[in-house]
Amino acid sequence: MKSLLALTLSALISVSAGSAFASETKAAAKPDLAKGQEKSTQVCAACHTADGSRGSPANPILQGQHAEYLVKQLTEFKAGKRVNAVMAGMAGLLSEDDMKNVAAFYASKQAKPGFAKSKDTVALGEKIYRGGIAAKQVPACAGCHSPTGAGIPAQYPRLGGQHADYAEAQLVSFRSGARANSAQMTGIAARMSDLEIKAVADYVAGLR
């Protein structure tokens, strides 16, 4: 009886260890850039271009964006936490592995520089980005997105070089509550005027 019990326990331990090893191996598996490129061509390229570079100003530049951030956004589009009918449909076509592969593919690309367009607001945009708006308790954007706009992986997205039109639209969307997947950004945008939003959005387009 003792021998049988010992064998049973040994088998259970082996199965458990094997399962743990398999889980760790899966978690540690690196994204497949080739598969990411293939999937992005099928699903994403029509709106975001083949390599996620400077397409329509209405759509975000994905080139050089942090992979963890892209996976988070795709997951939240698919779950309905971030509301966008087009992106919900696109994200719905992607598995978890697809998302990781596509995100890694775009993150692997070198982001191309952009340019601010408004000379009239660039000083205001820089002031907000680097120093915030003390009177409105708006923190400096650089505190989370870095002085160069590079962002912080997994937490805060890269903003440097992003389309001004897209950045402005997202800030307005946060302010109105239409985009509700970041309580922090909702609170910040709620205290900003149209001019302040437009100025900082234009300024980040030229960050590098």
Residue 81: CATH number of its domain: 1.10.760.10
Which positions ≥6 away from 104 have C-beta within 8 Å?
A: 30, 31, 32, 33, 36, 67
Question: Is residue 49 one of the residues assigned to a domain?
Answer: yes
State the residue range of the domain holding 173: 122-205
Question: Is residue 63 one of the residues assigned to a domain?
Answer: yes
pLDDT of residue 71: 98
pLDDT of residue 86: 96
Amino acid type, 31: P
Question: Is residue 97 one of the residues assigned to a domain?
Answer: yes
Same domain, 136 and 194: yes
CA distance 130 to 141: 6
Question: Is residue 39 one of the residues assigned to a domain?
Answer: yes
pLDDT of residue 111: 87
Number of domains the chain is built from = 2
pLDDT tens series, the chain, 208 aa:
545 445 444 554 454 545 544 445 455 589 999 999 999 999 999 999 999 998 999 999 999 999 999 999 999 999 999 999 999 999 999 999 999 999 999 999 998 899 999 999 999 999 999 999 999 999 999 999 999 999 998 889 999 999 999 999 999 999 999 999 999 999 999 999 999 999 999 999 999 8
- Residue at a domain's end among 107, 134, 149: 107
pLDDT of residue 9: 45
